[in-house]
Amino acid sequence: MKRRQFLKSFAATSLVVAAATHRSEVAFADDKEHEVEFLLVQNAERMSLKSNKLTLRGIAPDILYFSDRPDRIVGRVTTREYVDHWAVGNNNFAGDPPNAVLSIQHHPEPQDIVVVLRDPRLEGADLIYKVEVLDGSKEAKGKATALFIDVVGRPLTPLSVAGVARRTTRRTVRRVDARN
């Protein structure tokens, strides 16, 4: 079986676990371990953010996940499975909350907010999180929202979206401190 086919098959059979923990280790014939990390994308019709509470209204019934190259694995997990498995496994979101970028269709131009996600719960067609805002407005409303969820365990890696925001903030603070 080719590596790509094996990874797709593995991802399909462990869909819920992969989405909940964002990482799966696969052993290959040469006994090297290969780690596949998944990013998640949640879509909603509209959103509101107020008092550290993010409400995604009209949440899509499933969440897209995808891996980086060379694997380029793509799949979906239901929103219900995602919420139900938030605290499952050793490397889970409850123990190490993920960072995310909330991209909001907002007139006259889109708005992006970097947050830490905690304690998701589904209420009908709404998905509600407790959040900590790392960068951007602490209150917002908008339509056609996408939430890009970062990989668990990699919040400060060079290519991590939230890691870039944190490093930028730290550099700005250091520059201001150096001037004083």
Q: How far apart are the C-alpha atoms of 174 and 69, rounded to whole Å? A: 34
- With 0-12 / 13-18 / 19 or more C-beta atoms within 10 angstroms meaning exposed / middle / buried, residue 135 is middle
Encode the chain (180 residues) as per-residue pLDDT tens digits.
344 443 333 333 333 333 333 333 333 334 345 567 889 999 999 999 999 999 999 999 999 999 888 888 899 999 999 999 999 887 789 989 999 999 998 777 889 999 999 999 999 999 999 999 999 999 999 999 999 998 743 333 333 344 444 434 444 444 444 445
H-run or E-run covering 148: strand 140-149
Is the previous residue joined to 97 through a cis bond, with omega within 30 degrees of 0? no
What integer pLDDT is reported at residue 34 of this predicted model? 56
pTM (predicted TM-score)? 0.67
